[in-house]
């Protein structure tokens, strides 16, 4: 990694932590300059504008999410074991683990900001990120249908929607309400989703 790339990474890590609490809109090159003890002009050399910084951040967060959540889960056997690994690591991503961001999932903050924005490169990029993730969830679930863990009549897109809802509710209960039962509720909800998806025993 060259010096320039290294600096860029350092800045992006800081920016990601900040954005997880104040959102993409709250991120400024000036504020970031203070946090990294870099000059504003130095930062502008890396990210020509606030928009480019936000874009780079979504890219970086997506890569980090793949490294921390998706890739390790894909090492598990197809179907239910992989789905469980994915869900466990997704909760860690949002929860209190060492590599979790201080404000929890940065994508949830970004979603709340970008949902009412008009179309534009940043929104489009982010929507692609979210669709990819829902597709991944559906694909992993579908592998469980092929493996015989889940019923052939299940709808993978519905499962992805349902599971996304479970983690959104977890974020809400955990971060906003600081509900000590947040994780328990999330796990019960997950187990029920898996339970109702099981193949009907042959008549």
Per CB under 8 A, residues contacting its own copies are 20-23, 25-26, 102-104, 108-109, 111-116, 126-127, 130-131, 134, 155, 157-158, 161-162, 164-166, 168-173, 175-177, 181, 185-186, 188-189, 192, 196
Closest distance of CB 41 from its own copies, Å: 28
Q: Are 172 and 151 in contact (CB under 8 A)?
A: no
Closest distance of CB 84 from its own copies, Å: 18
Burial 15-42 (b: 16+ CB within 10 A, else e): bbebbbeebbeebebeebbeebebeeee
Helix, strand, coil fractions of the chain, as percent rounded to 5 = 70, 0, 30
Nearer to its own copies, 60 or 126 (CB): 126
Closest distance of CB 18 from its own copies, Å: 11
Q: Give the whole-angstrom CA distance, residue 44 versus residue 106.
A: 23
Closest distance of CB 3 from its own copies, Å: 33
Nearer to its own copies, 27 or 43 (CB): 27
Q: Give the whole-angstrom CA distance, residue 145 versus residue 159.
A: 12
Nearer to its own copies, 71 or 131 (CB): 131
Nearer to its own copies, 65 or 126 (CB): 126
Q: Give the whole-angstrom CA distance, residue 69 versus residue 163.
A: 15
The encoded tokens of residue 11 equal 């800045």
Q: Give the whole-angstrom CA distance, residue 121 versus residue 25.
A: 15
Closest distance of CB 159 from its own copies, Å: 10
Nearer to its own copies, 76 or 88 (CB): 88
């Amino acid at each position: 990694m060259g010096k320039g790339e290294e600096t860029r990474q350092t800045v992006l890590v800081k920016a990601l932590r900040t954005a997880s609490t104040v959102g993409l809109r709250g991120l400024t090159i000036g504020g970031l300059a203070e946090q990294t003890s870099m000059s504003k002009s130095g930062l502008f050399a890396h990210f020509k504008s606030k928009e480019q910084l936000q874009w780079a951040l979504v890219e970086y967060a997506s890569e980090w999410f793949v490294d921390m959540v998706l890739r390790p889960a894909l090492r598990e056997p197809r179907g239910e074991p992989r789905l469980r690994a994915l869900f466990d690591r997704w909760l860690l991503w949002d929860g209190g683990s060492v590599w979790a961001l201080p404000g929890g999932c940065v994508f949830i903050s970004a979603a709340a900001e970008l949902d009412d924005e008009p179309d534009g490169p940043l929104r489009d990029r982010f929507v692609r990120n979210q669709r990819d993730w829902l597709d991944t969830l559906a694909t992993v679930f579908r592998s469980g249908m092929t493996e015989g863990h889940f019923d052939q009549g299940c709808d993978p897109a519905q499962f992805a929607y349902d599971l996304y809802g479970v983690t959104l509710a977890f974020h809400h209960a955990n971060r906003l309400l600081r509900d000590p039962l947040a994780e328990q509720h999330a796990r019960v909800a997950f187990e029920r989703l898996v339970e109702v998806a099981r193949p009907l025993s042959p008549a």
